[in-house]
Amino acid sequence: MRHAGVIGDPVAHSLSPHMHNTAFEALGIDATYELWETSAADLPSRVESLRGESMLGANVTVPHKQSVMPLVDEVSDTAQQIGAVNTIIRDGSRLIGDNTDAFGFRQSIDATFPDIIRGTAVVLGAGGASRAVIVALREMGFDRIVLANRTLARAEALGAGFGVDVVPWERVVEATFPDASLLVNATSLGWHDEMPVDAEALDHLSPATLVMDLTYRETPLLRAAGDRGLGTLDGLGMLIYQGARAFELWLGRPAPVDVMRGAVVAEQSRRA
């Protein structure tokens, strides 16, 4: 029996065990995906344990995505750009830190809105999630990426690091919405059913704009966008494709994406 798991604190609510265990079962792979709740003090020994022969690798989540970086033998270019590791792969006894979030973001758009206009992308929020989004948007070839965050200094630090434009939070609607072809809510507001901008602000978007929220379900923002006939996408696809990519890196074979999606959706409705 081989093992994978998620390293974080807390991890109890993770959907990843459902996604991966269902995938292992569907493909007849003798492996199990476990919840590895790990304190900061135990992180080094947890990472060391991944060198074992029976280990496939791990996912890493809050609060260890940065602190795990010096503990692995190699950090991929993408993970370095994002500044965080969300996936560890074992190659012999070497551990490679990678990040599949940008891939997940990109693939979720490519799979549903392949013809999206790659003009101006507006990103709300300047936390960890925004970093992966910006890396993905650059790879996707958007002409312009604009960042806005409640705390301006945080947006400026991120914007300077990535060379993307920053506008003050109070001005984001008038300054960017008319030109946006993609609006991404990467703040944590969707999780609490709050909106980063008023519903009426969406009237400033052109009808071809795709509105995306990284939350794993329909948020008030997405509902308001849908009501206005705009394209909408929640974060479920990003979750599934980042997991699918991790699966492929661990096992070297294609992930059963539809099976993984089914498992996540079933678990979500069980919890609702």
d(CA 92, CA 50) in angstroms, rounded, equals 10
Q: Is 150 in the site for ligand ATR (CB under 6 A)?
A: yes
Q: Is 65 a catalytic residue?
A: yes
* Sole binder of ligand ATR in the list 151, 174, 198, 266 (CB under 6 A): 151
Q: 125-144: which residues touch ligand ATR (CB under 6 A)?
A: 125-130
CB of 169 to ligand ATR, least distance (A): 7
Q: Which is nearer to ligand ATR, 128 or 220 (CB)?
A: 128
**Cβ proximity of 99 and 86 under 8 Å:** yes
CB of 75 to ligand ATR, least distance (A): 18
d(CA 72, CA 85) in angstroms, rounded, equals 10
Q: Which of 244, 196, 216 minimizes the C-alpha distance to 23?
A: 244
Q: Is 178 in the site for ligand ATR (CB under 6 A)?
A: no
CB of 126 to ligand ATR, least distance (A): 5
Beta strand 55-60 with 87-91 is antiparallel
Size of the site for ligand ATR (CB under 6 A): 15
CB of 156 to ligand ATR, least distance (A): 11
Angle at Cα 25 formed by Cα 5 and Cα 217, nearest 5°?
65
Q: Which is nearer to ligand ATR, 159 or 196 (CB)?
A: 196
**Cβ proximity of 166 and 147 under 8 Å:** yes
Order the strands of the 210-213 sheet from edge to edge: 165-166, 144-148, 120-124, 180-185, 210-213, 231-233
In sequence order, the β-bridge partners of residue 55 are 3
Angle at Cα 14 formed by Cα 10 and Cα 15, nearest 5°?
180
Q: Which is nearer to ligand ATR, 83 or 226 (CB)?
A: 83
Q: Which is nearer to ligand ATR, 18 or 131 (CB)?
A: 131
CB of 194 to ligand ATR, least distance (A): 7
Residue in 46, 65, 90, 131 annotated catalytic: 65
**Cβ proximity of 123 and 181 under 8 Å:** no
Q: Which is nearer to ligand ATR, 125 or 256 (CB)?
A: 125
Binding site residues, ligand ATR, CB under 6 A: 125-130, 149-151, 154, 186-189, 196
Q: Which residues are catalytic?
A: 65
